[in-house]
Amino acid sequence: MTVLRATLLVAVLLYVTLWVLAINGSSDLVVPLAIPAILAAMIILGVVLQRYMGITPRKPHFRDPEDDQKS
């Protein structure tokens, strides 16, 4: 298991544990725990909508060919 997978696993387990605590009576945790879930849902729905509409994802470019011509 790589360090990245182990870290993600621990983070997910911690998040689930905090939700269990929130469901069992600690209502102060509900709003802070809902924020990452809502943001993730918004990102996923945005990607799904872009794919549905046929918009291809932009490829990042770090070098501009015009910068090479100016030198």
Residue 64: band (very low, low, confident or very high) from pLDDT cuts 50, 70, 90: low
Q: 11: which 2 tokens?
A: 């983070």
Statement: residue 36 has pLDDT above 60:
yes
pLDDT band at 68 (very low <50, low <70, confident <90, very high): low
Task: Please give the share of the chain, as a percent, with pLDDT higher than 90.
Answer: 55
Write down the pLDDT at residue 16. 93
Is 57 a residue whose pLDDT tops 80? no
C-alpha to C-alpha distance for 57 and 51, rounded to whole angstroms: 8
